[in-house]
Amino acid sequence: MRSDVIRVYKTVHTWTGIVAGLALFIAFYAGAVTMFKDTLDAWVTPPAANTQVFPLTQASSVIEQTLASFPDARRQFTLRLEPEGQASLSWRARGKAQRISATLDTAGKLRTQTRGLSDAARFIDILHMTAGIPGGFSVGMGVMGVVSLVYGLALVSGVIVLLPSLIKDLFVVRVGRNLKRMWLDAHNVVGILSLPFHVVMALSVVAFGLNDYIFPVQDRVIYGGTLDATRQAQNPYFAKAPVEPGVDPTRLLAPGQILAAVKQRAPAFEPRELSYRGAGEPGATVFVAGDDPRYLARSGGFALLDPVSGRFLNAQFLPGADGTAWSAATSAFFALHFGSYGGETIQWAYLFLGLGGAFLFYSGNLLWIESRRKAERRGESGVVKQRPSTYFMAALTVGVTLGCMAGISATLAAGKLLSGRVADLPAWHARIYYTVFLASIGWAFLRGAARGSVELLALTICATLLVPAASVIGWLVPSTGMWFDSATVGVDICALIAAGCFGWMLRVTARRVATGGRDSVWGRPLHGT
């Protein structure tokens, strides 16, 4: 391939990476953390407030008494299937950061328990989907859709740039005095080896983020105005059961009957929860979610039924049942993005792929920043004062990446540290994250990339150590209101490992600052800069 063509694609790759890199770093790092979202939720939930279980055979009685005593639960409640034939029922209080669970006492009467919600994992998941872009969820998703278009262009141009030396240099990482070459080798190896993963991420986020803009165009140009009605009819989140004259909507089938109907249609499917919407009212539905490890299924797989008649309203996303080619392709698309297949093995793989993706975008920015020194020297000897744009990008890269990591650690730890001490813990999660994130960016600009990176790494270590520290305090001094749960000790262990990695980064970075060239943004700053 001609060298001038390679140079064009290299320029495209560089600038598309710079434009999209920082938003994608946040999305990939937060996405890696939320691969174990359920475990994080359990970590921030006090053991005493865990939902109480009851035999599945009592589920009908619990549902009936719950709907009679708490009309708000009709809007949506969840019956979760627990091990050994047990179940739990809960719903979110309207307008409050509280979840209410219900069970029966020994006399068969309804007993409820209310607990505050942390929503730490949910907040981090929203960061993953929107990169924390202000303006609301839909705005953030739309921006990330555009960012992913740029991301896709960066992937294509990067592969083209590497084609001439792809086989020869694929596994080569040259460690030595030339740090830029080492970073470039590592960037290339991670990018090529995880390319299929990144292609799936780029395409899927474009579809997720821009669907509100893509579908209206399709509707007008291809479907003649009928697409929206079709989408509404096929979307299980909006569908309603048909209202039949003479049928009492309050006479719900026993959950066991609904599960038997699903089992008959998909024998290998393992249901994990039943989510009722509008229970006891005309048009009610029950959303049965579960797993079948043999299939790439959307959110593990699900079906929508009428809780009164047991009739299937939507089974196209039920693994093992008859579905359309479109639903199978859509299910695989969702599963490949969210890693909702293959169990814990895939979860761990996606966690490391997500962290590798975050490294890819961070290292891309580092390579651009360091390359400015060579470009600005222009054959001159001695110390070269770099342009303000280079210092700006260096400070922004340090502030955004370290601010994101420190903010996520701090807001997760707050789920346990502030539990029972503040009225609206979900709001505090946002306040803590954005305070740490924006303060880190400001600090990086105030102190410069070199000094700021060392100091912000120290902050990230401290914030990450707060996670196991909260558990240790709860274990040793339970009177503080904190707690230790052996079932979620994996969160504390992972936080300790992460803090150790950040400590290694701090040592390496401090040495780089002390010994780096004075005309590098990573070395000792020039006088007056």
| Domains annotated on the chain, with CATH | 1-45+118-236+324-374 (no CATH), 46-117 (3.10.450), 384-529 (no CATH)
In this predicted structure, the answer to whether residue 517 has a pLDDT above a threshold of 90 is: no
What pLDDT does 527 receive? 40
Question: Which among 38, 4, 24, 41 has a CA at the least distance from the CA of 117?
Answer: 41
Cα–Cα dist 129/368, whole Å: 26
The 3-state DSSP class for residue 113 equals: strand
In this predicted structure, the answer to whether residue 364 has a pLDDT above a threshold of 70 is: yes
What pLDDT does 328 receive? 67
Cα–Cα dist 16/26, whole Å: 16
Question: Which among 202, 209, 206 has a CA at the least distance from the CA of 28?
Answer: 202
For 262-281, the DSSP string reads: HHHH-TT-EEEEEEEESTTS
In this predicted structure, the answer to whether residue 201 has a pLDDT above a threshold of 50 is: yes
For 134-161, letters b (16+ CB in 10 Å) and e give eeeeeebbbbbbbbbbbbbbbbebbbbb
Listed in sequence order, the residues at least 6 apart from 453 whose beta carbon sits closer than 8 Å to its beta carbon are 398, 402, 444, 509, 513, 522
Confidence band of 529 (pLDDT split at 50, 70, 90): very low
Taking residues 396-415, report their average pLDDT.
96
What pLDDT does 5 receive? 67
For 46-69, the DSSP string reads: -GGGSPP-EEGGGHHHHHHHHHHH
What pLDDT does 136 receive? 86
In this predicted structure, the answer to whether residue 474 has a pLDDT above a threshold of 80 is: yes
- Asked which of 103-112, 225-234, 365-374, 453-462 is least confident by mean pLDDT, the reply is 225-234
Mean pLDDT (the chain) is 83
What pLDDT does 152 receive? 85
Q: What tokens does 140 get?
A: 């953030």
CA dihedral 244→250→256→262, nearest 10 degrees, is: 30
What pLDDT does 111 receive? 92
The 3-state DSSP class for residue 511 equals: helix
Listed in sequence order, the residues at least 6 apart from 3 whose beta carbon sits closer than 8 Å to its beta carbon are none
Cα–Cα dist 410/43, whole Å: 14
What pLDDT does 334 receive? 77
What pLDDT does 525 receive? 55
In this predicted structure, the answer to whether residue 19 has a pLDDT above a threshold of 70 is: yes
What is the 8-class DSSP label of residue 421?
T
Confidence band of 299 (pLDDT split at 50, 70, 90): low
What pLDDT does 528 receive? 41
In this predicted structure, the answer to whether residue 222 has a pLDDT above a threshold of 80 is: no
The answer to whether the beta carbons of residues 191 and 357 sit under 8 Å apart is no
In this predicted structure, the answer to whether residue 176 has a pLDDT above a threshold of 70 is: no
What pLDDT does 165 receive? 63
What pLDDT does 418 receive? 92
β-pair partners for 276 = 77, 286
Q: Which of 104-113, 215-224, 396-405 has the highest mean pLDDT?
A: 396-405
- Asked which of 62-76, 102-116, 313-327, 375-389 is least confident by mean pLDDT, the reply is 375-389
In this predicted structure, the answer to whether residue 458 has a pLDDT above a threshold of 90 is: yes
Taking residues 427-437, report their average pLDDT.
96
In this predicted structure, the answer to whether residue 36 has a pLDDT above a threshold of 70 is: yes
Confidence band of 150 (pLDDT split at 50, 70, 90): confident
Packing angle, helices 3-33 and 388-417, rounded to 10? 20
The 3-state DSSP class for residue 304 equals: strand
What pLDDT does 526 receive? 46
Chain centre distance of CA 507: 29
Question: Which among 55, 357, 82 has a CA at the least distance from the CA of 194?
Answer: 357
More confident residue, 408 or 266: 408
The answer to whether the beta carbons of residues 23 and 133 sit under 8 Å apart is yes
Taking residues 296-318, report their average pLDDT.
82
User: Tokens 């305070």 belong to which residue?
Assistant: 435
Give long-range contacts, CB 8 A cutoff, 24+ apart: 219-224.
none
What pLDDT does 454 receive? 94
Taking residues 126-144, report their average pLDDT.
90
Listed in sequence order, the residues at least 6 apart from 259 whose beta carbon sits closer than 8 Å to its beta carbon are 271, 274, 288
Question: Which among 276, 297, 298, 278 has a CA at the least distance from the CA of 287?
Answer: 276
Taking residues 165-179, report their average pLDDT.
59
Listed in sequence order, the residues at least 6 apart from 13 whose beta carbon sits closer than 8 Å to its beta carbon are 154, 157, 158, 161
What pLDDT does 267 receive? 87
Question: Which among 13, 17, 29 has a CA at the least distance from the CA of 437?
Answer: 29
**Which parts of 165-291 fold into alpha helices (H)?**
166-169, 179-193, 195-221, 227-234, 255-265
Percent of the chain with pLDDT over 70: 81
